[in-house]
Structure 1
Amino acid sequence: MTRGHHHSAGAERKTLGVVLILAGIWLLSTLAVVRAAEPSRVGNEMPSLAPMLERVVPSVVSIAIQGSGNAGPDPMLSDPFLRKFFGLPEQPSPSERSFQVAGSGVIVDAKNGYVLTNSHLLENADEITVTLLDHRSFSAKVIGMDQPTDVAVVQIKADRLTSLPLGDSSDLKVGDYVAAVGNPYGLSQTVTMGIVSALGRSGLGSDGLENFIQTDASINPGNSGGALVNLQGELVGINSAIFGPAGSNVGIGFAIPSNMAKDAVRELIAHGKIRRGELGMLIQDLTPLLAQAFRLKISAGALVSRVMAGSAASSAGILAGDVVVAVDGRPIRSDVDLRTALGLLGAGAKARLTIDRHNRVLELPVELREANTVSTALVKGEGLLAGVALADISPDSAAYGQADGAEILAVDPQSDAAQAGLIAGDFIVSVDQQPVHSATQVAQRANRFNKLLLLGIFHAGGIQYLVIP
């Protein structure tokens, strides 16, 4: 009995020991899970962007723009010159309205005081003031502006500036963390954080070169021109646009890639403008339906619809019907891709185009020629085009490189052309199904008709026909 009792007590002690060991293992496992769930630490500090932002924020400035401009949506009614040009009754021009705009900028050259910002901020600017993190303010002068890239450079005379190093935006991947720094709603040096939501965004309604970085880092009015930085504190984008009701942030913002901005800044500082080259061809998206009609195996690219005689494209051997699928090895999926890729190259620049020609792949070297500077003198339409102001399509035009013909600057609301649907901002590319190459040629050919004037109109990236009866 006693021995039995001793045996039973020993068994209980063993059982208790096993339970304690299992409980210890469970406790250690639980602690390991809890520790794994905690944010990683450096020393005794919580992870933070503060050290990186301490280097970045002094490079981001607030920009205040004051200016004035004429009110009135219709240029025919508001522009005294156009009214006089068409012999309309004189009327007092609308009073000029003053405006103030708040934006942001990034110091990219501390030694020379160069500040990078958006060109759309500076339109009609009379006075530009740059305010630094230390509250010093300086009057700035415009060095250069480029509407297609929405990039501008201003200069301030100041010491003790800090410039922001440029990163390589081509290294960005969807999901990378980024921070937006700027002056939203006048709240200077505000920082928001998010990720890269998408790359290569285009087709956003802009008339410029579109290759935007999309991010969900909060970008609000006043952030334009500010910095988008990676976690190394390098500038990878210039905040430019937002998508949302009434300009509010809904987590969809867009930034100009730093590589695009870098090329633009270099040209603007050196020449005050970007000296663009051109190939001399008209392009359009290769849609699946067009690919089927052309019996092509590919379904994306930039379709060459026309090659100008004597152009760089003609010299390179490019033909109508060719599809550009790559530039210097970089894929081209649309006409916007090609326009952006070539739009950043200057006159004399060389590139290698990969062409699909009836399902045969060709490599064609090209050298861009300096874009022709054409006259912007007004051409007065007559006959069925009476009341229409025309001009040649200039390098600054939204349709430059996409259409050949004449830009419609203004249309008298009472004219036959206006009643037929002709509107300012469109482009006439053919008269009576014959291609035209200048405003003068449009006016001369149109003057031959006293009824049923058939015009080919380039509008919103496509060509439509319009008849003036």
Structure 2
Amino acid sequence: MKSTLKKLLPFAVVGVISGATTVGTIQYFGHNSDNADQSYFTKSSNASFVGMNAATTGDDFVKAAKTTVPAVVTIKNYQSKSSSRASEQDLFDFFFGDPFGGGRGQQRQKQQQMPDNMPSGMGSGVIISPDGYIISNNHVVAGANKLEVVLSNKKAYIATLIGTDPNTDISLLKIEEKGLPYLNFANSDNIEVGQWVLAVGNPLGLNSTVTAGIVSAKGRGIGILGSQGKAANPIESFIQTDAAINPGNSGGALVNTNGDLIGINSAIQSTTGYYQGYGFAVPANLARKIVEDIKKFGIVQRGFLGVTSLDLSDDQQVAAYNMQKKTSIKAGSGIYITGFGEKSGAEESGLKAGDIITKIDNVAVTDFADLSMSIGSKRPGDKVQVTYSRNGKENMTTVTLKDQKGGTSTRTKDDLSVSEKIGADFDPLNESFKTSYGLNSGVIAKNVSEGSEMAKIGIVDNYIIIEINGKPVNSQKDVEKILDKYQGNVQVKFIDEYGRMYTKGFKMP
């Protein structure tokens, strides 16, 4: 027993050091240094004792840190217009809280006064190949017209944004360099709750910061990606860790003690905007699939079962459904099928409304996070084995996954429709509205995708598009006809929610 305690004590000490370092950092940034509480640093004899024990037994952490730090970079997000900077600051606030303590309005005002040569936001990224591919979060790069990458050796590069995926909060960048240090992806399915991990990033402006902790949970869905409507089909199956993560860590590395990449740090759950013990990372297996799709196809290949469903693990969701539909479905484990989409692979396989999905490819599905991870990491045309319960009896069937249009083939950017390329759909504007406001043409923007060309010029849902390239538009077909096979600069005339008219443009992707 004593021998076991001796072995565990140094690791516990390392955790204490990590936590104390985080609290000390928050104290430093949250208060004037002249008035800072210095009690963490007054007991020098104790600090010396703790440090000596950690150093003599923390070889695994040292090795992992030496491997990871050179491959983690700082990403600076530059946006040319102050209004864009202000809106994107809200994204960072959304994921990490307001780091300036409840003054969002004041912070927006500060951002609007910043010169254009100052970044509007900063995060982290991870080099994943020696030729300069870098993975980060979508919200780190969102809205940028310039992205600067700074290595741990302070060398800086202008990066090209290869692609993004709001549904997983993953982005892929590229810098022109060779022979760079990089991290290998680990199989994140093999991680265990309780295993030691390190988080590496640039929190609170402190470059190349390493914190230690454990995997606290797997398959966490916290509702952060879809809650603002930016992700149409979010995949949330986060790795939860108590390694200290703060603003600036976003997009950085979560690694095991071998220095292998097991996750991309994405968010914290906090009432203060600072670390309170709950950090979340996108699993490496999902992140790797996303960047492979972006590199190979230019877009993410997403397979769908084609079902509408009810998460039986969510008591409140089940209760609300029962009240609305006047049913008596019992809460528990699994995914209850409520219906099917058009050209549904699940319906074609023989699944029916009322079936309860319990496994995908023999892996248990207890909640929607499990289902979204199992299916979201697949491509159209992939086949999955679905285990389901019908009238209390277990059954199995094979489902061919499809894309949202019912196809089973992978597509490239060239295969996308105009609406998919520019990131919005368009509904006709009714004639009475046109008459009331003196408009001769117009369509209403719908389903505007985060980071899309339409979003970049400031268009959001319900803005009115009057003309494209000087031509009036009155339907989705008009937009498609004007921009189909079009190459070059696109000019868009639109009206915002206050009735103000703008003319802005972008280059057709």
TM class, shorter-length? 0.5 to 0.7
Of the three residues 394, 409, 420, the one matched with 1:361 is 394
Residue 64 of structure 2 aligns to a residue whose secondary structure is helix
1:229 aligns with 2:261: no
- Residue 277 (structure 2) pairs with residue 251 (structure 1): yes
Alignment-derived partner of residue 148 in structure 2: 129
What SS does the corresponding residue of 1:203 show, helix, strand or coil?
coil
Q: CA deviation at 1:348?
A: 0.8
Distance 1:381 1:228, change over 3 A: farther
Aligned to 2:246: 220
Aligned counterpart, 1:335: 368
1:196 corresponding residue in structure 2: 215
1:348 matched to 2:376 = no
Q: Does 1:276 align with 2:296?
A: no
Deviations 1:13-47 (A, max 9, x none): xxxxxxxxxxxxxxxxx9x99988985999x9453
Please list the CA deviations of residues 239-296 of structure 1 after superposition, one character each: whole Å capped at 9, or x if unmatched.
0001113421112111111111111111111112202122322112125667999788
Partner of 1:102: 122
Describe the shift of the 1:156–1:178 C-alpha distance in structure 2 as closer, same or farther (beyond 3 A). same
Question: How big is the shift at 1:298?
Answer: 8.1
Aligned letter for 2:395? L
> Aligned with 2:258: secondary structure?
coil
Q: How does 1:262-273 map to 2 (within 5 A)?
A: 262-273=288-299
| Structure 1 runs not aligned, ≥5 long | 1-29, 76-94, 398-407, 413-438, 441-469
Q: CA offsets, 1:413-462, max 9 Å, x none?
A: xxxxxxxxxxxxxxxxxxxxxxxxxx99xxxxxxxxxxxxxxxxxxxxxx
Match of 2:426 in 1: 377
User: Greater CA radius of gyration, 1 or 2?
Assistant: 1
Quote how far apart the aligned CAs of 1:159 are.
2.6
Tell me if the contact between 2:63 and 2:258 (Cα under 8 Å) persists in the aligned partners.
no
Q: What is aligned with 1:55?
A: 67
| Offset at residue 316 of structure 1 (A) | 1.0
- In 2, are the aligned partners of 1:108 and 1:165 still within 8 Å (CA)? yes
Equivalence map 1:65-464=2 (5 Å): 65-68=77-80, 71=83, 100-110=120-130, 112-207=131-226, 208-286=234-312, 299-372=332-405, 375=419, 376-380=425-429, 409-410=461-462
Equivalent residue pairs, number: 352
Structure with more of its chain in strand, by fraction: 1
User: Cα 1:243–1:297, aligned 2, differ >3 Å: closer, same or farther?
Assistant: closer
CA pair 313-113 structure 1, distance change in 2 beyond 3 A? same
Residue identity over aligned pairs, in percent, reads 32
Sort the Cα spacing of 1:213 and 1:33 in 2 relative to 1 into closer, same or farther, 3 A.
closer
Aligned to 1:80: none
Q: Alpha carbons of 1:33 and 1:247: their partners in 2 closer, same or farther (altered >3 Å)? A: closer
- Rounded to whole Å, the distance in 2 between the matches of 1:249 and 1:284 is 32
The alignment partner of 1:247 has SS state of coil
Structure 2 stretches lacking a partner, 5+ long: 12-51, 88-111, 227-233, 406-415, 420-424, 451-459, 465-475, 478-509
CA distance in 2 between counterparts of 1:38 and 1:241 reads: 30
Query: Within 2, Cα distance between the matches of 1:327 and 1:349?
Result: 13
2:400 & 2:258 partners in 1: Cα distance? 37
Q: Secondary structure at the match of 2:257?
A: coil
Cα distance in structure 2, aligned partners of 1:195 and 1:37: 14
TM-score, normalised on structure 2?
0.61
State the distance in 2 between where 1:146 and 1:160 align: 27
Greater relative contact order (CA < 8 Å, ≥ 6 in sequence):
2
Amino acid at match of 1:282: T
For 1:35 and 1:342, how far apart are their aligned partners in 2?
Answer: 44
SS at 2:426 equivalent: coil
Once residues 337 and 382 of structure 1 are traced to their aligned partners in structure 2, the CA distance between those partners, rounded to angstroms, is: 46
Residues 63 and 280 (structure 1), Cα distance of their counterparts in 2 relative to 1, 3 Å cut: same
